[in-house]
Amino acid sequence: MFQNLETLLKAGKWRNADLETWNLMLKLTKREQEGWLRLEDVKNFPRQELRKMDQLWVKYSNGKFGFSVQKQIWLELGGKLDGEYDWNTFTKLGDRVGWRKNGDWLSYNSYTFSTNALSGHLPADRMVGSDYSFLFSRL
C-alpha cells in the first residue's frame, strides 16, 4: 500500500509524495469520492497506517518532515491532544511550519516542496486545528 509513497519520498519528489499521502488518507477512510475528511474520519484514522506514513516521511526527509514532526511543534506551541478546537495554536503552527506568511494562509501551490522548507512543512495542511489535535493523538 505504501510502495508508491516510499518511492516518491526516496526520490525527493516532495509534492507528489504529499499528494500520494493525501490520497492514501482518503483511501484509508473510504473518502475518495468526497475528497475530504470529516472529523470522525480523523478521530478514527487507522493508527498503524498513520505511523507507517509518518515513518516514511521522517526517514526520507532526515527528520525534517512528517506528522510526528508537526506533532512535536504543536505540543511545543502549547497545543493539546484533546480534540478541542484550537485556532490559536493552529495559526501558530501555520506560522512555524510555513503554511502562513505575514499573517495570511498560503495556497497549496505556494507551499515549498523541497528540503528548503521549514521543519514540519510537509505533509501539507489540509485540516483545521481540532482535526490536527485528534490526528496527532493517533501517533
User: For 19-43, what is each residue's pLDDT tens digit?
Assistant: 999 999 999 999 999 999 998 999 9
Distance in angstroms (rounded) separating the CA atoms of residues 28 and 137 = 17
Which is nearest to 66 in space by CA: 2, 130, 131, 9?
A: 9
pLDDT at 82 over 90: no
Q: Which three cell numbers stand for residue 117?
A: 522548507
Q: What is the set of domains in the chain, with CATH numbers?
A: 3-137 (1.10.10.1770)
> Which residues have a Cβ under 8 Å from the Cβ of 105 and sit 6 or more positions away?
94, 99
Question: Look-up: residue for cell 508537526?
Answer: 70
Distance in angstroms (rounded) separating the CA atoms of residues 69 and 121 = 9
Distance in angstroms (rounded) separating the CA atoms of residues 52 and 100 = 27
87 or 67, which is more confident: 67
- The pTM of the full predicted model, rounded to 2 decimals, is 0.94
